[in-house]
Amino acid sequence: MPSPVPRKALVSTPSDLSSSAETTPAAPKNLRHEVNRRRTFAVISHPDAGKSTLTEALALHARKISEAGAIHGKAGRKSTVSDWMEMEKARGISVSSTALQFEYDDHTINLVDTPGHADFSEDTYRVLTAVDAAVMLIDAAKGLEPQTLKLFQVCRHRGIPVITVINKWDRPGRTPLELLDEIDERIGLTPTPMFWPVGIAGDFRGLLDVAKHEYIHFTRTAGGATIAPEEYLDADAAAAREGDEWTTALEESELLVESGQHHDVDAFLAGRTSPVIFASAMLNFGVHQILDALVSFAPAPGPRPDVAGGARDVTDPFSAVVFKVQAGMDTAHRDRLAFMRVVSGVFERGMVVTHAQTGKPFATKYALTVFGRERTTVENAYPGDVVGLVNATALAPGHTLYAERKVEFPPIPSFAPEHFSILRAESAAKYKQFRRAVDQMDSEGVVQILRNDLRGDASPVLAAVGPMQFEVVAARMKSEFGVEARMEPLGYSLARRTDAESADELNRQRGIEVFTRSDGVLLALVSDKWRLQYIEKELPHLTLEPLVAAAD
């Protein structure tokens, strides 16, 4: 991964931005205002922690939708608006990232939904390069789980401040103090309670607003499909209504505050503390408190480091970075969307910008904001916004677009694959469709495509972080291109970067095969770690460099 960037040096709070206006008088007033209104974040979690349900609940509380898509009962269960692939609907998990934009409390919220499964951690990493904050969602019964820990480390590495949400408090689980101790001990992040639960896990009555000593009582709605009504009570009324449960909540929260676990904006932005909110996304309890925390505490868009060692300020001329490419989101629109995060300046639909990787002009006539699969033509966008560019075949994750003053942002690294399969079309008559499908999956970064002269184009090798990526490829090839494909596992488990001088000798070794990735990088696939150790010991002059691991 690239070197970490100190967040404090790059974050622009509203006060910072106002003061910078005097040094950049060319920046229009509305740009500074619009930047201050933006909050761009992602939700990170272990699979089945309720991430997609929370995404839907946030959109519900922002009045973007009238009814949540996830409701109780298998017979009546709907898919969430952010899960649009048939595989996602069938399995109830997210395997692709999507972008949702909505207005809340005079702010524009850009929520980039991330894949929940560990096999798609590379896609999640790309998303985390495009956000300014993250919500770390934790299951109240399970606490910190492996995938959550990995993604938190990515946030820490990138200097992304984290708000913690303890979800599923309507179900039996651990004690709140135990969960906060685990966060402190396992990841070294000091949790600062903002909204504390009244009632044990499984008996969620409401929330204590720690700062105001106010009680927020929730009333359930049918299936949690609509916004839960809230009743606000002062401390005396809360004590009379809830008795010991209120007293316990008050004592626990005061104990934490007295021990120094109180919210401090500088500590939060520096990644030392994390505001904590207890919630039930399924019941819509505590959801608008999450939105309020994001609006109040999450940073507005700030400068982004470039490859030259400088930083592109939000008030500089337009620039953006592509973090996701996706096709097949809508069968009615067989097109390809490149999702870009606006970094600086004002984006205007139709403007001609420069593609930094090729130096060629790029027209932006077809630009969209998206809400799941719903599309709306966008005329203008500002730093922090996510815009989809239609049929942007030249763009790939990590690419830069800019206007006027040249800039290029650091590329997004590819993760080290650990699973490899030969891909073949069942029917030779569908070879042209097969080639188009392979090129499409490759350009989106769904998997890495490897080729060599021995195997030829008819049998490319798919390289993936997790095996479920292969399932996505097969499913999409069938649904979008009408191609039945089969996978044949290849007996390698490791990949290392090599060079042309080493390739011939490596190809002569048992248990090693050299391929060219579509970006031109040479990869040596190795059968196992013992074979790798042997080659490194016996042939130390050969190049075998580690790639970025998904767990880094």
> What are the beta bridge partners of residue 462?
421, 449
Q: Is 50 left (phi over 0), alpha (psi -120 to 50) or beta?
A: left
Q: What is the DSSP letter of 56?
A: H
C-alpha span between 493 and 470 (Å, rounded): 15
Q: Residues 351-402: pLDDT tens digits? A: 999 999 999 999 998 898 766 567 788 899 999 999 999 878 889 889 999 9
Q: Residues 457-481: pLDDT tens digits? A: 889 999 988 888 888 888 888 888 8
C-alpha span between 183 and 102 (Å, rounded): 31
Pick among 2.60.60.20, 3.30.70.920, 2.40.30.10, 3.30.360.10: CATH of 304-402: 2.40.30.10
The CATH fold of domain 419-538: Alpha-Beta Plaits (3.30.70)
Measured CA distances, 23 to 18, 284, 315, 347, 508 (Å): 10, 44, 10, 22, 62
C-alpha span between 113 and 59 (Å, rounded): 12
Question: With contact defined as beta carbons under 8 Å apart, do 205 and 198 qualify?
Answer: yes
Measured CA distances, 242 to 173, 229, 237 (Å): 20, 18, 9
C-alpha span between 47 and 55 (Å, rounded): 14
Among 130, 95, 94, 92, smallest CA distance to 112 is for 130
Question: With contact defined as beta carbons under 8 Å apart, do 89 and 83 qualify?
Answer: yes
For the chain, which ranges sit under pLDDT 70?
1-29, 68-98, 115-121, 327-335, 370-373, 549-552
C-alpha span between 206 and 325 (Å, rounded): 41
- What pLDDT does 328 receive? 57
Residue 38, Cα to own-chain centre: how many angstroms?
A: 17
Q: Which residues of 396-412 are buried (b: 16+ CB within 10 A; e: fewer)?
A: bbbbbbbbeeebbbbbb
C-alpha span between 116 and 100 (Å, rounded): 16
Burial status of residue 15 (CB atoms within 10 A of its CB: 0-12, 13-18, 19 or more)? exposed
Q: Which residues of 171-190 are buried (b: 16+ CB within 10 A; e: fewer)?
A: eebbebeebbeebeeebebb
Six token digits for residue 510? 């048992």
Burial status of residue 341 (CB atoms within 10 A of its CB: 0-12, 13-18, 19 or more)? buried
C-alpha span between 422 and 407 (Å, rounded): 39
Residue 85's identity, in one-letter code, is: M
Give binding residues as ranges.
Answer: 113-117
Q: What is the pTM of this model?
A: 0.80
- What pLDDT does 27 receive? 53
Domain positions in the chain = 38-297, 304-402, 419-538
Question: With contact defined as beta carbons under 8 Å apart, do 135 and 290 qualify?
Answer: yes
Give binding residues for GTP as ranges.
Answer: 113-117
- What pLDDT does 420 receive? 95
Q: Which helix or strand (DSSP H or E) is residue 327 part of?
A: strand 319-327
Task: Give the strand pairing for 133-139 and 162-167.
Answer: parallel
- What pLDDT does 2 receive? 44
- What pLDDT does 249 receive? 96
Measured CA distances, 376 to 52, 87, 370, 371, 388 (Å): 22, 25, 6, 8, 10
Question: Has domain 38-297 been given CATH number 2.60.200.20?
Answer: no
Task: Give the strand pairing for 311-312 and 304-305.
Answer: antiparallel
Helices (H) and strands (E) in the chain, counts: 16, 29
C-alpha span between 66 and 287 (Å, rounded): 15
Q: Which helix or strand (DSSP H or E) is residue 246 part of?
A: helix 244-258
C-alpha span between 447 and 301 (Å, rounded): 30
The alpha carbons of the chain give a radius of gyration, in whole angstroms, of 24
Q: What is the DSSP letter of 549?
A: P
